[in-house]
Structure 1
């Protein structure tokens, strides 16, 4: 807990600016209100499901808050050279092209082909959860190896390194998350969205193949958890650790907006809380140069939501 408090105090003393934080807060409040008022992601962007148009749409959506926050940095005189940096624009285009491609890719019909409908549903749900590893983690690893590695004296691999670090701050956060999710599970928007496993047809898949019911549960939830490695690798690794060479610690606040926009298709309570969670984990990643604590925390958060939403349904039924 002392480490977490020290990171927070250090970060706030070095990088907090009331005008910047107010501007970012207003941007996020307006964006969240607009998204949930018109159901922007689920009704508009997702209406292009199966079309390549989703790629530029997601690129614009995910890149917008990051770029606007950088504009705020310039206007408040906190970082005024980023827009002249060729490296900034190179990383900006590469990074958001990768994450938007991952989010928009939906062409898996060649895999499921003529499968039984229960096999098809379950297989597609599992594959979609694996997209983060296939289309975010692997491309960023290659990008780091061929471009970033020679520029990174610490060889951090965007926080993916296995050098020892203090895990205790994350353990405290996991406990907080456990209690918070237990309370939040009584909110209708979360229990209507979770558990995601119930939408996979896993029980029918197990009956079709005469399998124990725990096998599809373990399969789906394992891939679901593994997918958060890609989330942390991009948002805390690439956007924070990668951009810190250009933006310094302000990379944390720049990342927060894009991370919030990632949650536009989820319950509004989860979307709002992602701003605070992303900010906090971003600070930890910035100082520790690690993302593994964030990965564990993110997986715990996801599995807790699955667990408590399932318990709510069991006891309510």
Structure 2
């Protein structure tokens, strides 16, 4: 137990030894707090579906980029075609992944009324794979033809190793937190995400439908980990070093804006923690285990609470 806990702490020890920019960390969480307050007060993303979502991602992200450039005298970044390619690929992927209008139209025109609800539920999970997968591949393809700036950092080096079983020590306490959160009405109204009976349209769910959905749901979190803890961190590292983890975190928080506010707030801690693990181990498997485990707990616990 002690050894496993030590391996979990090792990436943070390395992070501390590398003299992190503490003012930058504080500013990041200040920006996150402002973003959460603005969205949950004015519902910017819902009021202006495309523009609002774009602003929710791009403004906090760009403010952190500006601060990093000022503090590190790295204004060369803004003259880099590689940087702007990466910036627009990331923002585009996030914005289009939030816009489900096309999916709604396709389902309306091709699926029977009684099945549209379930089809929409499944389509939302599939679109995560599509929009978190294709833009990064396009980005990598374009970057191959763009010249690197000599000031870009080398690729990430693996500096720590964490056995997959060690991550279970983190998952246990998180499940307890999920249980406490599930006692709230907002949480129980939002979860589970699996299709439920919809008598008004004639849809009745079943155990096979729920189980298949949960597989799709879990796989969507694999895609989420790959995008944020894999692609975003690694693609930003040459320009921002370990601050890439904080830049990723501010984007990661924004994808939670339609969820219960406590979940959104906690994502700022969880996103940073999993980002540090990915940055120093070079792997996303720990994040996948924890993320999928928590997601399934969020599905199961509210159901158990209703039964009891």
What TM-score results when the alignment is normalised by the length of structure 1?
0.82
Partner of 1:225: 218
Give the deviation of 1:36 after TM superposition: 1.1
Give the deviation of 1:280 after TM superposition: 0.2
Give the deviation of 1:218 after TM superposition: 0.9
Task: Tell me the number of residue pairs that the alignment of Structure 1 and Structure 2 aligns.
Answer: 295
Change (3 A) 1:251 1:232: same
Change (3 A) 1:37 1:148: same
After TM superposition, list the pairs within 5 Å mapping 1:110-149 onto structure 2.
110-113=106-109, 115-144=111-140, 147=143
Task: Please tell me whether the aligned partners of residues 121 and 200 of structure 1 are also in contact (alpha carbons under 8 angstroms).
Answer: no
Over the aligned positions, Cα root-mean-square deviation in angstroms equals 3.0
Q: Which of 170, 186, 194 is the equivalent residue of 2:167?
A: 170
Partner of 1:299: 292
List alignment gaps of at least 5 residues for structure 2: none
Matched, 1:97 2:101: no
Q: Following the alignment from structure 2 to structure 1, what is the Cα–Cα distance between the partners of residues 145 and 231?
A: 13
Q: Which of 63, 68, 71 is the equivalent residue of 1:68?
A: 63
Task: Please tell me whether the aligned partners of residues 237 and 285 of structure 1 are also in contact (alpha carbons under 8 angstroms).
Answer: yes
Give the deviation of 1:33 after TM superposition: 1.3
More deviation, 110-119/218-227: 110-119
Change (3 A) 1:142 1:20: closer
Q: Which of 178, 187, 192 is the equivalent residue of 1:190?
A: 187
Change (3 A) 1:116 1:13: same
Change (3 A) 1:78 1:251: farther
Q: Following the alignment from structure 2 to structure 1, what is the Cα–Cα distance between the partners of residues 174 and 73?
A: 33
Partner of 1:256: 249
Q: Which of 263, 270, 274 is the equivalent residue of 2:267?
A: 274
Q: Which of 19, 27, 31 is the equivalent residue of 1:23?
A: 27
Matched, 1:6 2:10: yes
Change (3 A) 1:166 1:188: same
Q: Following the alignment from structure 2 to structure 1, what is the Cα–Cα distance between the partners of residues 219 and 107?
A: 21
Give the deviation of 1:247 after TM superposition: 1.0
Partner of 1:210: none
Q: State the secondary structure of the residue aligned to 2:257.
A: coil
Q: Following the alignment from structure 1 to structure 2, what is the Cα–Cα distance between the partners of residues 78 and 190?
A: 44
Change (3 A) 1:249 1:169: farther
After TM superposition, list the pairs within 5 Å mapping 1:177-216 onto structure 2.
177-198=174-195, 201=198, 205-206=203-204, 213-216=206-209
Q: Following the alignment from structure 1 to structure 2, what is the Cα–Cα distance between the partners of residues 41 and 280?
A: 26
Q: Following the alignment from structure 1 to structure 2, what is the Cα–Cα distance between the partners of residues 17 and 135?
A: 32
Task: Please tell me whether the aligned partners of residues 191 and 298 of structure 2 are also in contact (alpha carbons under 8 angstroms).
Answer: yes
Q: State the secondary structure of the residue aligned to 1:76.
A: helix
Give the deviation of 1:99 after TM superposition: 2.1
Change (3 A) 1:57 1:220: same
Q: Following the alignment from structure 1 to structure 2, what is the Cα–Cα distance between the partners of residues 292 and 167?
A: 7
Task: Please tell me whether the aligned partners of residues 156 and 237 of structure 2 are also in contact (alpha carbons under 8 angstroms).
Answer: no
Change (3 A) 1:79 1:311: farther
Q: Following the alignment from structure 1 to structure 2, what is the Cα–Cα distance between the partners of residues 214 and 114?
A: 25
Q: Following the alignment from structure 2 to structure 1, what is the Cα–Cα distance between the partners of residues 288 and 294?
A: 10
Change (3 A) 1:5 1:90: same
Partner of 1:33: 37
